[in-house]
Structure 1
Amino acid sequence: MRVDTVKRGEPLVAVLERAGVPRDEAARVLMESQAIDARKIRAGTTITSKVSPDSGASEVVLQLAIDRLVRFTRSATAGSRSGWLEKEETLSWTTDTVVVGGVVTSTLTGAIAQGAEAFPANVRDEVAYALADILEYRVDLSRDLREGDTIKVLMERQRAPNGAVRPGDVIAARLTVDGRRVETMRFAQGTKSSYFDGEGKSMRAAFLRAPLAFRRISSVFGLRRHPILGTVRAHQGMDYAAARGTPVRALGDGVVIFAGWKGGYGRVLEIRHRNGFVTRYGHLNAFAPGIRRGTNVSISRTVAFVGTTGLSTAPHLHFEVLVNGKHRDPRVALRNVTGEPLASGQRATFDDLKARLFARLDGPRDASTAAAPVVTRIAGD
């Protein structure tokens, strides 16, 4: 058995030749292949071959992904010019459930990493990102977490036949965030699954909690010394430090009411939402294509890019929330915006599932079980 990998810029025909397939045969194999585009094979792709000293390669396997491979087998009855049979195979994953989590010392990713022994170190950040995606309407995980907050997540763990492990879906989670409890769980209505909080309200709401998907806060709402003017001024919003060009998202559905230059804000965007809300995004490098006054935008749409225009010393996003024309602390204004509740006829099923899921979440940390049905369908849907 011989194992090799595709090198950067190397033609696949040369790799097959190195694996023991004569060059002219290798060229015909690739020409006849229905599963492989030789131009799109990535560097690092693993190629395994069975080679005889007398007859050369009898089988060549390309591992295109963890769960996908293409097997070429030499055959006198192949019925092709190359004399090789091609078979594409999809490997099945097995799934169980595990509990991960930890205590916050600095960041969400750090807390998850310390308590996610069930996953390889190189995929633990994906667990944190999956949780952040669910919570982005309720918690700004770059700002709201405090040292000592706790995180526990019940989630799927998927294993490939070759031993590879990856995270699946989050099933339920409980966090303490600055002293308050935040719960979420997956629940199915008909054929569609979505996430709800512990009170049965949808995790999706009218607003995201932060305008950047990957972010960190550089200052908070209140008084600060302006970094350029050198005076203490009311800092009416939040600053998110981020690299120049980082996409800025619309915090909610709305219409653009201003897109241009405005004094110390530099290049700035203002979006009017329902219920008297206006969100303002300052120091922008550029607007996204199609963004101008009068443009309707949907929640999460990329509307601009982080910059350092106006009175700014480094790339960051200055973000403000105004309600009925008055500045409001975004932490307060957005915290009370929640999603729609479940219909009353679904609550009994929801409450039963919640009890079972959180019993598993509160079970032994090192316990894992074959994934049982944990998403319930409402009868009649």
Structure 2
Amino acid sequence: MSSRRARFGVFGVVALLAWGAISVVRPIPERRAGEVISGVRTPAWQERVDSLQRGETVGGVLSRGGLTAQEATEAIGAAATLDPRRLPAGMRITLGGPEGAPPSRISFQLAIDRFLHLTRSDSGWVEHEEVLPWATDTLVVRGEIARTLYDAFDEGATELPPGARSELAWNVADIYEYRLDMSRDLQPGDTFRVLFERRRGPEGTVRIGRVLATNFASGTASIDAIRFESEDGRGRYYDTVGKSLRSAFLRAPLEFRRISSVFGMRRHPILGVWRAHRGTDYAATSGTPVRSVGDGVVVRAGRMSGYGNVVDVRHANGFVSRYGHLRAFAKGVRSGTRVAIGQTVGLVGMTGLATAPHLHFEVLVGGTQRDPRKALASTGGDPLPSADRPAFDRLRADYLALLQRVSTQIADSN
């Protein structure tokens, strides 16, 4: 109310002064629309976007952007959550301020969606962290295997950029790594459906969120994977009867994302004769980690004729898994060492009778080489706790219904 009285008071004084001046001051000419009588020019805001070069200090970037050495030191000191000695090369740093004045705002891009802002005030620099939101929606992708899993996702997941399509294929392969070797078990004509979350960042970046449910169908066989979070908050995958997809053995000694090709019986490249090729060869880059397909004890870690560097692991059921042509053994891996499922036992190489980097993988039962696909066939994992079954059954019904949707986009969380 006092401010209104003040405004009326000022208006009254101005009105009286104007009234008293009418007889002695020439009238102010009328102005056309768009004309400016007077005004104060506000300096334009300008920004400089820079990046931290390899071997460069943050102070160097700030000095290049217009701060003095003292101002740069004060700004860095105000960034309590920033360790200037551990910033990655390429980090984007933006300095902004009124045109013609030193920068009054500094922004460090910590991640795609995280920024650390420093704003100059009368008392110094003030730190503020900003997290930008991601948009999430739920999609269904479906496809048919013609050549490889990569090709199928590339053709079926056209709503995703190429990098995200590969990421989704990798995630699905990881889910089924106890049931399917995606590099050799799939056949032309097999079909799949995947229900998953797509996350879109503030700069248009697309990432794959949670895979909620999947289905792979081959002939009369069908394998479902339903994601369910128990009380510990961890998401695990179960089949439709509530058995965990995790079992005693992995289906492949290399992660699917690291395999370039798989080949079986062939003409031996060095001996030059056709020979029965027991086991499977996985072509991969030299140095790719090789993992044990199950818990066990190392019974051999050394040189062995044509295998070159080889590791043999004996498992509880008496099976022995063999990994040949290794470039090197993993640290601590020697005869008698206990290893866990998925633990790295060596690195892909080309020792022994090998002309290119690859892993030779075998499974021996009673000393006889067996087809790994049959020897490592899953018998199913542990069942879901009975207390979780009602919630799982409801979720399973919802997810399986969504997998059958014709529409690609199911829901948008925003």
TM-score, with normalisation over the residues of structure 2? 0.81
Corresponding residue of 1:32: 78
Whole-Å Cα distance in 2 between the matches of residues 60 and 358 of structure 1?
49
The Cα of 1:266 is off from its aligned counterpart by 1.6
2:179 to 138, 158, 161: 138
5 Å-filtered alignment, 1:56-135, equals 56-76=102-122, 78=123, 83-135=124-176
Corresponding residue of 2:329: 287
2:263 to 194, 219, 231: 219
Whole-Å Cα distance in 1 between the matches of residues 263 and 209 of structure 2?
35
Q: Deviations over 1:338-368 (max 9, x none)?
A: 3122345544443332111011122133323
Give the secondary-structure state (helix, strand or coil) at the position aligned to 1:274: coil
Matching residue's letter, 1:6: S
Corresponding residue of 2:53: 8
Give the secondary-structure state (helix, strand or coil) at the position aligned to 1:15: helix
Whole-Å Cα distance in 1 between the matches of residues 162 and 260 of structure 2?
23
Matching residue's letter, 1:285: R
1:198 to 240, 260, 273: 240
Whole-Å Cα distance in 2 between the matches of residues 179 and 371 of structure 1?
36
The Cα of 1:304 is off from its aligned counterpart by 0.8
Q: Deviations over 1:12-67 (max 9, x none)?
A: 22322344433421122113321222233333323334321243322221211012
Corresponding residue of 2:249: 207
Larger mean Cα displacement after TM superposition, 291-300 or 357-366: 357-366
Matching residue's letter, 1:96: D
Matching residue's letter, 2:102: G
Give the secondary-structure state (helix, strand or coil) at the position aligned to 1:335: coil
Corresponding residue of 1:271: 313
Corresponding residue of 1:317: 359
Whole-Å Cα distance in 1 between the matches of residues 251 and 65 of structure 2?
53
8 Å CA contact retained: 2:329, 2:346: yes
Corresponding residue of 1:246: 288
Corresponding residue of 2:94: 48
Aligned CA distance change for structure 1 residues 344 and 24 (closer, same or farther; 3 Å): closer
Corresponding residue of 1:233: 275
Corresponding residue of 2:229: 188
Matching residue's letter, 1:169: R
5 Å-filtered alignment, 1:361-380, equals 361-371=403-413
Give the secondary-structure state (helix, strand or coil) at the position aligned to 1:27: helix
8 Å CA contact retained: 1:241, 1:316: yes
Whole-Å Cα distance in 2 between the matches of residues 110 and 368 of structure 1?
24
Structure 2, unaligned runs of 5 or more:
1-45
Matching residue's letter, 1:8: Q
8 Å CA contact retained: 1:5, 1:43: no
Matching residue's letter, 2:273: T
8 Å CA contact retained: 1:103, 1:151: yes
Corresponding residue of 2:42: none
The Cα of 1:253 is off from its aligned counterpart by 0.2
Matching residue's letter, 2:312: E
Q: Is 2:202 the partner of 1:156?
A: no
Percent sequence identity is 47
Whole-Å Cα distance in 2 between the matches of residues 3 and 148 of structure 1?
54
The Cα of 1:281 is off from its aligned counterpart by 1.0
Q: Deviations over 1:89-142 (max 9, x none)?
A: 233434331222433333222322333344333333221111121111111111
Corresponding residue of 2:14: none
5 Å-filtered alignment, 1:168-179, equals 168-177=209-218
8 Å CA contact retained: 1:68, 1:89: yes
Give the secondary-structure state (helix, strand or coil) at the position aligned to 2:103: strand
Corresponding residue of 1:379: none
Whole-Å Cα distance in 2 between the matches of residues 337 and 264 of structure 1?
33
The Cα of 1:177 is off from its aligned counterpart by 4.4
Aligned CA distance change for structure 1 residues 51 and 179 (closer, same or farther; 3 Å): farther
Larger mean Cα displacement after TM superposition, 290-299 or 336-345: 336-345
Whole-Å Cα distance in 1 between the matches of residues 206 and 266 of structure 2?
47
The Cα of 1:310 is off from its aligned counterpart by 1.6
Whole-Å Cα distance in 2 between the matches of residues 13 and 92 of structure 1?
30
Corresponding residue of 2:27: none
Aligned CA distance change for structure 1 residues 257 and 178 (closer, same or farther; 3 Å): farther
Whole-Å Cα distance in 2 between the matches of residues 212 and 178 of structure 1?
26
TM-score, with normalisation over the residues of structure 1? 0.88
Give the secondary-structure state (helix, strand or coil) at the position aligned to 1:368: strand
Give the secondary-structure state (helix, strand or coil) at the position aligned to 2:317: helix
Give the secondary-structure state (helix, strand or coil) at the position aligned to 1:102: strand
Q: Deviations over 1:305-352 (max 9, x none)?
A: 112122222221111111233221011111244312234554444333
The Cα of 1:181 is off from its aligned counterpart by 2.0
Aligned CA distance change for structure 1 residues 4 and 296 (closer, same or farther; 3 Å): same
**Greater gyration radius:** 2
Whole-Å Cα distance in 1 between the matches of residues 392 and 377 of structure 2?
24
5 Å-filtered alignment, 1:338-353, equals 338-344=380-386, 346-353=388-395
The Cα of 1:216 is off from its aligned counterpart by 4.0
Q: How many residues align?
A: 365
What is the root-mean-square deviation in Å for CA atoms of aligned residues?
2.3
Matching residue's letter, 2:162: A
Aligned CA distance change for structure 1 residues 179 and 284 (closer, same or farther; 3 Å): farther
Give the secondary-structure state (helix, strand or coil) at the position aligned to 1:339: coil
8 Å CA contact retained: 1:60, 1:73: yes
Q: Is 2:339 the partner of 1:297?
A: yes
Give the secondary-structure state (helix, strand or coil) at the position aligned to 2:138: strand
Structure 1, unaligned runs of 5 or more:
373-381
